Amino acid sequence: MAARASRVRLDLNSPEFQDVFLRLETVELKQVVASLRRLSELVWAEIYRHTGYQWEAIQHLKAPNGASVYSLRLSQKVRALAFRDGDFLRFVSMHPDHDSAYRR
């Protein structure tokens, strides 16, 4: 039961994620940072129920640990791909064009 009550820990260390993150325009960057901050305040049971992130499994992708990869909305324009690894939500990539998240 303790694992379900664990807070979400973010891993933003993927070079592909950082490449896009560091090039975001100021307005978009602020929205994404606010979204990431809210994510880090949630526990895992909440993240799965939260409707604002539009959490969707990407059926054709698997994480290195075999977990499902998910697309989640970080702003009006930006989606990210991430997977769960224990208490960590490990971000793989960020996509300013929503549709590109699904073509990966």
19 lies in some domain? yes
pLDDT of the residue at 27: 94
Closest among 78, 88, 1, 5 to 35, alpha carbons compared: 78
The mean pLDDT of 74-99, rounded to a whole number, is 91
Count CB atoms within 10 A of the CB of residue 98: 14
Model confidence at 1: pLDDT above 50 = no
C-beta separation of 42 from 60 below 8 A: no
Closest among 38, 32, 41 to 6, alpha carbons compared: 41
85 lies in some domain? yes
Q: What is the pTM of this model?
A: 0.85
Closest among 66, 46, 65, 47 to 55, alpha carbons compared: 47
Task: Tell me the pLDDT tens digit for each residue of 31-86.
Answer: 999 999 999 999 998 987 888 899 899 989 999 898 999 999 999 999 999 999 99
User: Token match 């996509």: residue?
Assistant: 95
4 lies in some domain? no
State the residue range of the domain holding 16. Answer: 9-101
| Domains: count for the chain | 1
